[in-house]
């Protein structure tokens, strides 16, 4: 039998083997997928059902079917679109700052110097603290009378020593972004550090031999090869920032232009006991996050596959 005939005969066997491996993989992951579907599907389905009804705040359990009225009321509400605007402004600024700071921290942690292990442990401490704990800490730091920020300003005789940071619209948002960046930039750095560690040192050595400067090596080697890790980090952080709830809830209770979508849905659902409208807001928040996830997977996922194919 010639080599060409042997190749043709081997293709069907390889094809059957690939199908069998795919089927085996499907069998192995199917229990986990079923559990995830049940755990995630029931709350989502129940929230959708609640959003289609109007519930009495006087008589518990009394409700009537209203269809999509709660969604119509939410989409025509100025408060809803204000919460959408606040959420996206917070997400855009905080994720951008976290990317820049995370990249700087990842480059420092990746450098070879004495004490690098200590630096890695110290940098990751903020990420290990619970978000509610972080919010309480920064609420104390921004306190207008006894807070650390104003005390430092007073000691240095700087303007703004009596600023009520969480009591003004612009400063309240800035404080919330600052606290979020402080906590989650280490997480971004951790993801980027994983990407830096897979870049071969030979590439940098070859660039040095060719006379490339440190900036040229960063722009021409580090950033292109780090792009998949950057894209994955952006996906994680963007989706997480869109669901922000802890920080505005603890810092300002949503006052002074810091009401995000999750907090607005919570206020309607629990504080105001508007179960139907609150559930509709929760479902709309879920749809927005899913839409952004879909866009990321379509746009970013394609870029990651293209980079993998280039390799």
Cβ-proximal residues to 93 (8 Å cutoff; 6+ apart), any chain: 177
pLDDT for 163 equals 87
| Distance (Å, whole) CA 78 – CA 86 | 12
pLDDT for 308 equals 55
pLDDT for 9 equals 53
Q: What is the mean pLDDT of residues 223-244?
A: 89
The pLDDT tens digits for 286-310 are 999 889 888 877 776 656 556 555 5
- Among residues 136, 154, 155, which one has the least CA distance to residue 163? 154
* Dihedral-angle region of residue 246 (phi above 0 means left; psi in -120 to 50 means alpha; beta otherwise): alpha
Q: What percent of the chain has pLDDT over 70?
A: 88
| Distance (Å, whole) CA 257 – CA 169 | 5
pLDDT for 145 equals 84
Length of the chain: 311
Token pair in block for residue 280? 């509709």
- Among residues 132, 86, 134, which one has the least CA distance to residue 259? 86
Token pair in block for residue 270? 């629990």
pLDDT for 180 beyond 90: yes
The pLDDT tens digits for 146-170 are 888 889 988 888 887 888 999 888 8
CB 181 within 8 A of CB 93: no
pLDDT for 311 equals 53
The per-residue b/e assignment along 56-65, b for 16 or more CB within 10 angstroms, e otherwise, is: eeeeeeeeee
CB 86 within 8 A of CB 252: no
Q: Which of 23-32, 81-90, 116-125, 190-199 is modeled with the greatest confidence?
A: 81-90
CB 284 within 8 A of CB 291: no
Write down the mean pLDDT value for the chain: 85
**Continuous segment of H or E residues that includes residue 64:** strand 63-65
- Among residues 256, 254, 232, which one has the least CA distance to residue 244? 254
Token pair in block for residue 218? 């960063």
Position with higher pLDDT, 20 vs 225: 225
The pLDDT tens digits for 51-91 are 998 887 667 777 788 889 999 999 999 999 999 999 999 99
Query: Residue 14's pLDDT band (boundaries 50, 70, 90)?
Result: low
pLDDT for 284 equals 93
pLDDT for 175 equals 92
């Amino acid at each position: 039998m010639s080599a060409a005939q042997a190749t043709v005969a081997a293709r069907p066997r390889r094809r059957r083997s690939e199908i069998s491996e795919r089927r085996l993989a499907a069998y192995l992951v199917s229990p986990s997928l079923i559990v995830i579907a049940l755990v995630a599907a029931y709350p989502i389905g129940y929230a959708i059902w609640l959003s289609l009804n109007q519930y009495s705040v006087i008589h518990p359990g009394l409700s009537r079917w209203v269809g999509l009225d709660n969604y119509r009321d939410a989409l025509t509400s100025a408060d809803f679109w204000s919460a959408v605007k606040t959420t996206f402004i917070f997400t855009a600024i905080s994720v951008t700052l976290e990317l820049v700071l995370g990249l700087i921290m990842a480059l420092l942690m990746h450098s070879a110097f004495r004490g690098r292990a200590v630096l890695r442990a110290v940098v990751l401490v903020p990420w290990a603290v619970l978000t509610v704990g972080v919010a309480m800490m920064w609420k104390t730091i921004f306190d207008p009378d006894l807070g650390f920020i104003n005390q430092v300003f007073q000691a240095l005789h700087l303007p703004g020593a009596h600023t009520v940071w969480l009591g003004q619209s612009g400063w309240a948002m800035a404080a919330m972004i600052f606290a979020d960046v402080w906590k989650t930039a280490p997480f971004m750095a951790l993801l980027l550090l994983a990407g830096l560690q897979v870049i071969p040192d030979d590439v940098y050595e070859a660039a040095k031999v060719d006379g490339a400067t440190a900036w040229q090596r960063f722009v021409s080697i580090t950033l292109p090869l780090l792009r998949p890790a950057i894209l994955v980090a952006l996906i994680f952080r963007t989706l997480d920032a869109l669901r922000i709830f802890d920080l505005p809830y603890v810092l300002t209770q949503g006052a002074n232009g810091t009401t995000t979508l999750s907090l607005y849905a919570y206020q309607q659902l629990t504080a105001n006991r508007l179960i139907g409208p609150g559930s509709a807001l929760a479902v709309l928040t879920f749809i927005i996050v899913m839409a952004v996830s879909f866009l990321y997977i379509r746009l970013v996922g394609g870029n990651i596959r293209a980079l993998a194919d280039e390799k």
